[in-house]
Amino acid sequence: MLIALCLFKYFPYGGLQRDFLAIGKELYKRGHQIRVYTRSWQGDKPSEFDIIEVPVRALTNHSANVKYYEWVKKHLTSHPVDKIVGFNRMPGLDFYYDADVCYAEKIEQEQKGFFYRISGRCKHYLEYEKAVFEKGTKTKILLLSRVQQTYFQKHYQTESERFFLLPPGISPSRKYQNAPSGAREKICKELDIPISSFLLLQIGSDFSRKGVDRSIEALASLPKDIRQKTHFIVIGQDNPNNFIKLSKKLKVDTNVHFLLGRNDVPYFIAGCDILLHPARSENTGTVILEALVGGLPEIVSRECGYSQYVNIANTGYVIEKPFSQENYTIKLKQALENKKLETWSRNARFYADNNDLYSLIEKAAKIILAADLEAT
């Protein structure tokens, strides 16, 4: 079987990109040919894939997305495949891997104004979302969060039988038993900070949506004796300039470290004290489970689809809706003061050993390859 995988952009540090790569390799391992359509590819290209970099350019991302779709549609007409799997929303997919929030619900909850709603960007994302989820379309949806299903059905009346819920898909290699040795020492040496410091970690691209500013403000609001020995480490692909300015304004810039995307994240999960993930919107938040299986306590926002696991496993604090900056700061202060970190870490390790947080990739491949499907 020849399967086309569609992804607007590939870069090696994104959660969606990591799942895309793993699912593609799993399909290949099961004996199928993989053709990839992407606007750009950063990093090593796997030999298992036939990668086509779609030659389109535009002044805006959404315009480039449209040109990408039109080019791919034309190419598939003359070079057909058996199945088309999309990792971004667009018309004509057989399967869509749903790693994003419902856009229609997002603009409703954020009460976007008239001019935003008539913008080309907004119209494009709504149109491509509708192409996937509208009642009567054929696309089957690989779902990561039941919460998002309710939103899609609210706005598009999507048939329930088109949704297929996937378990989490954390790599077993990320489990605490495989933690690299000397991680804390390596981190502190790289950053030139005392090994006795409290180390706060935040991972993820799109710093504004992930709430990096919320974490900087919480750090700045800590009591002086705690703040001075606390360091906040941010790893992700984004422009940090506005957040560096904020840290300088709040006089914590010497305690905030932006490291951008990198491939040694397990060192930071193994060597830090708390993961922070106060996202404004987040379909799942894979890093929450990566921290959990690594035994790292966490403070996360309820907006994250996987925040439920923090409560279920008792591995930290969940900041409930509506998000309160004051409450976030209080919980961070309590976490650094109240000696619960070791208990939370022990709870995380126990949960990681006794629950399925790992089989997403295998189940996604099985669903894509199945001839007859029943929704789960």
In the predicted model, is pLDDT for residue 376 greater than 70?
A: no
CATH class of 172-354: alpha beta
pLDDT per residue as tens digits for the range 155-198:
999 999 999 999 999 999 999 999 999 999 999 999 999 999 99
In the predicted model, is pLDDT for residue 310 greater than 80?
A: yes
In the predicted model, is pLDDT for residue 75 greater than 60?
A: yes
In the predicted model, is pLDDT for residue 307 greater than 90?
A: yes
What is the enclosing helix (H) or strand (E) of 310?
helix 308-313
Domain topology for 2-167+359-369: Rossmann fold (3.40.50)
- Distance (Å, rounded) from C-alpha 310 to C-alpha 335? 14
For the chain, give the number of residues.
376
Which structure tokens are listed for 21? 């790569």
Question: Which one, of 178, 237, 180, lies nearest residue 205 by Cα?
Answer: 237
**3-class state of residue 162 by DSSP:** helix
pLDDT per residue as tens digits for the range 347-356:
999 999 999 9
What is the enclosing helix (H) or strand (E) of 319?
strand 316-319
Residue 124's pLDDT band (boundaries 50, 70, 90)?
very high
The sheet with strand 198-203 has its strands ordered as: 256-258, 230-235, 198-203, 274-277, 298-301, 316-319
Core vs surface per residue 168-199: b (16+ CB within 10 A) or e: bbbbeebbbeebeeebbebbbeeeebeeebbb
Asked whether 308 and 265 are in contact (CB, 8 A), the reply is no
CB atoms within 10 A of CB 68: 23
Predicted model pTM: 0.80
Which structure tokens are listed for 16? 């969606």
Question: Which one, of 338, 325, 335, 268, lies nearest residue 297 by Cα?
Answer: 335
Give the CA distances from residue 64 to residues 93, 101, 301, in Å, rounded to whole numbers and listed in that order. Answer: 18, 21, 32
For the chain, give every domain's residue range. 2-167+359-369, 172-354
Asked whether 274 and 267 are in contact (CB, 8 A), the reply is no
Asked whether 317 and 274 are in contact (CB, 8 A), the reply is no
Domains 2-167+359-369 and 172-354 share a fold: yes
Tell me the average pLDDT across 219-237: 96
In the predicted model, is pLDDT for residue 10 greater than 70?
A: yes
The residues near 92 (Cβ < 8 Å, ≥ 6 apart) are 69, 73, 84, 131
